[in-house]
């Protein structure tokens, strides 16, 4: 199984929200660039699979398993469309798969939403075969620093409101962990996993636009039901520009790509 490159056209068909298109486009491009040319063997697992659209866009073969806790209805789409050979509705902290049974685990922007990520890493290590790969993406320790509204508040002399916004924003996004690759390396090591690759993506300028669009849509929806379509059209050219250059600097960014192996 190998990665393939998703296109903006595909993402605009899937997501109505332009900020989602922007973020996912650069995220999937980062994964593609970091894993291009590599082959991942089955059995394979998509951890926190949801509707499965991300893995369909990103990989050229069907995953063996999709695991999801079922709290969101979108996993029903994956089951209905047979995206995975088998979908397991269960917690990532305690999976039913046997020890040393999986060669490749992928997880896209999921692990930050799980309070006990140490338990998740322990389970990943348990079910991975020796030498197996675990690839995931997650907001980095720079995510909060790169938000647009706090920067705007500081410019307006209202910096005292920045931290309440940051706290609320992360709560709305269910972010329990926003870590650097250094902190991830420590946690991976404790679980018996070795960091072999990382790359940052989503520079400050792009997260500014992402945050600005999201807030604008949030407050405009009650007055304009077509706001998402309007902003998608308004920012299409800018999203395309950012898509081309959003992964250029891999040393810092609002999100991080992590590749670990079971040692």
Query: 42-76 pLDDT, tens per residue?
Result: 999 999 999 999 999 999 999 999 999 988 789 99
Task: Please name each of the domains of the chain with its CATH number.
Answer: 8-262 (3.40.50.150)
pLDDT for residue 262 is more than 80? yes
Residue 221 DSSP SS3:
coil
- Distance in angstroms (rounded) separating the CA atoms of residues 255 and 143: 7
Point out which residues pair with 133 in neighbouring strands. Answer: 104, 261
Q: What angle do CA 37, 40, 43 make, to 5 degrees?
A: 165
Radius of gyration in angstroms for the set of CA atoms belonging to the chain, rounded to a whole number: 18
Q: What angle do CA 182, 188, 194 make, to 5 degrees?
A: 90
pLDDT for residue 179 is more than 80? yes
Backbone CA torsion sign across 69, 74, 80, 85: negative
Query: 208-247 pLDDT, tens per residue?
Result: 999 999 888 888 877 888 888 888 888 888 899 899 877 7
Between residues 241 and 131, the one the model is more confident about: 131
Between residues 154 and 135, the one the model is more confident about: 135
pTM of this structure: 0.93
């Amino acid at each position: 199984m190998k990665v393939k490159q998703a296109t903006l056209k595909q993402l605009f068909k899937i997501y109505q929200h332009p900020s989602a298109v922007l973020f996912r486009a650069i995220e999937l491009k980062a994964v593609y660039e970091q894993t291009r040319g590599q082959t991942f063997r089955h059995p394979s697992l998509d951890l926190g699979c949801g509707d499965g659209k991300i893995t369909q866009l990103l990989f050229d073969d069907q995953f063996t398993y999709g695991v999801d806790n079922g709290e969101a209805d979108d996993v029903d789409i994956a089951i209905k469309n047979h995206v995975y050979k088998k979908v397991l509705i269960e917690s990532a902290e305690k999976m039913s798969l046997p020890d040393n049974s999986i060669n490749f685990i992928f997880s896209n922007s999921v692990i930050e939403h799980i309070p006990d990520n140490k338990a998740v890493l322990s389970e990943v290590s348990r079910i991975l075969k020796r030498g197996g790969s675990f690839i995931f993406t997650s907001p980095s320790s720079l995510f909060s620093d790169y938000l647009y509204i706090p920067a705007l508040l500081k410019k307006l002399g209202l910096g005292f409101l920045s931290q309440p916004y940051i706290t609320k924003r992360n709560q709305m996004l269910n972010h329990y962990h926003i870590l650097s690759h250094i902190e991830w390396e420590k946690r991976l090591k404790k679980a018996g996993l070795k960091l072999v690759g990382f790359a940052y993506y989503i520079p400050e300028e792009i997260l500014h636009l992402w945050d600005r669009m999201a807030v604008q849509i949030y407050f405009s929806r009650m007055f304009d039901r077509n706001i998402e379509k309007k902003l998608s059209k308004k920012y299409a050219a800018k999203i395309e520009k950012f898509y081309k250059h959003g992964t250029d600097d891999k040393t810092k960014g609002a999100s991080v790509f992590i590749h670990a192996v079971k040692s």
